[in-house]
Chain A
Amino acid sequence: MLGALTVLLVFQLIGEVLVQFAGLPIPGPVIGLLLLFLSLCVRGSLAAPLRDTANGLLQHLSLLFVPAGVGVMVHFSRVAGEWLPILAATIISTALAIAVSALVMQGLMRGRGGADDGEGGA
């Protein structure tokens, strides 16, 4: 588990360093994610400790958002002052984004499923 945690941190560190050097607009951990993914693909196998540690962390992913969420208390006055646009925008737009993404993907998958008539897709 210690080794696996180190692997995760090393990839995050590489990601952060690359972002700083290249001035990328993307956060370091996301670059770390991509690099770890690529190295798993190159290796072609996944060590059990890394799998277990990753699953353990991801099982409690919700918990990790709590500290940032409590920050709402600092911005209470702005959120209270503009509560209607803020609530309407987040709620409606989130429902729309879920619906649009799901419908588009479902539609395209169906198109593929019935695409024996020569979409030419691999």
Chain B
Amino acid sequence: MSPRITDVWVYLSASPLLGLTLTLVAYQAAYWVYQRAGFNPLLNPVLLAIVMLVAALQLTGTSYATYFDGAQFVHFLLGPATVALAVPLYLQFDKLKKLALPLVVALLAGSITAIVSAVGIAWLLGASETTLLSLAPKSVTTPIAMGIAEKTGGIPALTAVLVILTGVSGAVMAKYVLDGLRIADHGVRGFAVGIAAHGIGTARAFQVSEQAGAFAGLGMGLNGLVTAILAPLLLVLWRWF
């Protein structure tokens, strides 16, 4: 390798441009594959993009910190995007108002199921306590889940990974689970996916219909609030026994 190319690489790897550009290129490549495959849920674009990027970083010996220097600009948009969920929520509000009771009961049932079954299954299979604590808030959106893990003694960065894993598996499985249960209503489908698989599930629901997306956004937002309260409480109860 000539010194010139090395110089260029040293320059690029120190600038945020590379991480940012790589993220956008990988995601669009992943999305293209997903589209080409007729939106097959198994080829989830988030999953594909992550696999491509991890492979590229490992091959070039680039650290996550270096990559994140650039990728943080994309990551930052999670905040305003969360606030933006107020818009579809407002547009669907008339529909949501009529369903207040089913929504609240389903939310509590889904939220408790997500926390208890995740911790329970991992515990039965012998996971370490740190992993259990990091798993408890896995169904809610990254910033909330990381905040909860910090408070309960999990590892926030590990929680972020588990949250993504949950979101991707939810986005992949939702269609099969809901079809299997013969649930046709887009509102119900969206809400369930939003509760169980936060923003990645919500993104998937928006690809299906605006109604599914709005309900998913609501499920995700509400479950964020409910889990922030329930997860620490349930963990205290669990330690007690």
Q: Taking beta carbons and an 8 Å cutoff, which residues of A are in contact with B? A: 5, 8-9, 11-12, 15, 25-30, 32-34, 36-37, 40-41, 46, 50-51, 53-55, 57-59, 61-75, 78-79, 82, 84-106, 108-109, 112, 121
Contacts and interface: CB of A to CB of B under 8 A. Distances in A.
Given A25-B151, A85-B122, A30 B107 contact: no
Nearest to A122: B98
A58 B127 CA distance: 35
Given A58-B84, A86-B127, 17 more contacts: A8-B80, A41-B90, A61-B200, A62-B27, A69-B49, A69-B164, A71-B68, A86-B131, A89-B117, A89-B122, A97-B113, A97-B170, A98-B196, A102-B188, A102-B192, A105-B103, A112-B101
Contacts of B163: 68
Residue among A55, A65, A72 having the largest count of chain B Cβ atoms under 10 Å: A65
A33 B83 CA distance: 4
Contact of B71 (A27, A67, A100): A67
Interface stretch (B5-13, B35-43, B171-179): B171-179
Contacts of A73: 54, 57-58, 64
B145 to A, nearest CB: 9
A18 to B, nearest CB: 13
Size category of the binding interface on chain B: 35 or more
A12 to B, nearest CB: 5
B162 A94 contact: no
Interface string B152-186: 00010110111111111110011001100101010
28 contacts: A8-B80, A26-B147, A27-B143, A29-B80, A37-B90, A54-B86, A61-B199, A61-B200, A62-B27, A62-B45, A64-B77, A64-B78, A66-B23, A67-B23, A70-B68, A73-B57, A75-B157, A85-B121, A86-B131, A86-B162, A90-B165, A90-B166, A93-B138, A95-B169, A101-B113, A104-B109, A105-B102, A106-B183
